[in-house]
Each structure stands twice: as C-alpha cells, then as structure tokens.
Amino acid sequence: MTTAALRPPAHRVSPRAVPMWTVRSGMGVALLVGVLCVAAWNAGAWGWLPAWIQQNAWWGPIAYGGIAVFQVVVVPRWRYRVHRWEVTSDVIYTRTGWATREWQLVPVSRIQTVDYNQGWLERLFRLATLEVQTASHAGSSTIEGLDAEQARQVSEELATRAGTLRDDAT
C-alpha cells in the first residue's frame, strides 16, 4: 500500500485577493475602532464604571489599533502566501489558514454541488469564491479569492466532471 505525501497545491489564489482581504479587514477594524472610540468618549458619563476605567478608557481603542495594524497589513499578505488550491483528475486539493493550516482533499466523485459566489466586494476586485459541497461536513471545500473568470471555468469543469464520475456515493 502506498501513501501520498502532502504537498502544497499548485496554484495560488489571485493576487487581487490581497487588496480585497485588506479592504475587508480594514472595514471591520474601522467599525470596531469607531465603536471603541465612542465608548471611550462616553466612558466619563457612565457613572457605574470604576474611576480607573473612566480615566483610561482611551487605551482600549489605542491597544486595539495596534492589533488592527497587524490584522490589516500583515494577515492578508500572509494569507496569500499560504492559501493554495489545485484540481487534479480525481481530487480537489486546498490548503488554507494563516495561523493554523488546514489541508483538504475532496474526491471529485463525491461532489454534490459546486457553488460560485461573488459578493459586492469580490465583484469590485473581479474575484469569486468557489464552494464544493459533499455529503460529508468535513469533505466540503471553499476556495476564496479566485479570479472570477477562472472560478467560473473551474466550477463548470467540476460540475461536468462530477457528473461523469458520479459513483454510488455511499
């Protein structure tokens, strides 16, 4: 019996995924920093808060701002270096994660649905997300940050191939 060695999948996601992930992260960070600033601004009016919190409330948005710089600047670039995908004749192979790594191998013969998703931010960056569903919760796979045209072609190819390779699936 031979075993296959795990190797990095062949393809990276689109380089346009980095600015999209940066913008998405930046929007979330801006919203949370805004909420923290409003809370810090009003902390003095909330008499039920301890005095030391009222006096140091501005440290909350400042501390989160430091973490947010890492989240907005470093994480999308790191994520791009890690996220990979590949479709072979019989399996969809993905690697995701930036702090922890997740490797998934999904047999093409087990595919039930292939979904092509494109949110408003993805449309802006001409990207798409490909979701491959199987009957198994652990067997489903998502490839985020694909070029929109490439994702469309891969989804059509996978749907066709899954139909020709359909087996018992039990």
pLDDT tens digits for range 64-89 = 988 999 999 999 999 999 999 999 88
In this predicted structure, the answer to whether residue 170 has a pLDDT above a threshold of 50 is no
Contact 82, 101 (CB under 8 A): yes
Rounded Cα distance between 55 and 67, Å, is: 22
Higher per-residue pLDDT: 89 or 147: 147
The region of weakest confidence among 23-27, 44-48, 151-155 is 44-48
In this predicted structure, the answer to whether residue 143 has a pLDDT above a threshold of 90 is yes
Read off the tokens for 130.
Answer: 């490909």
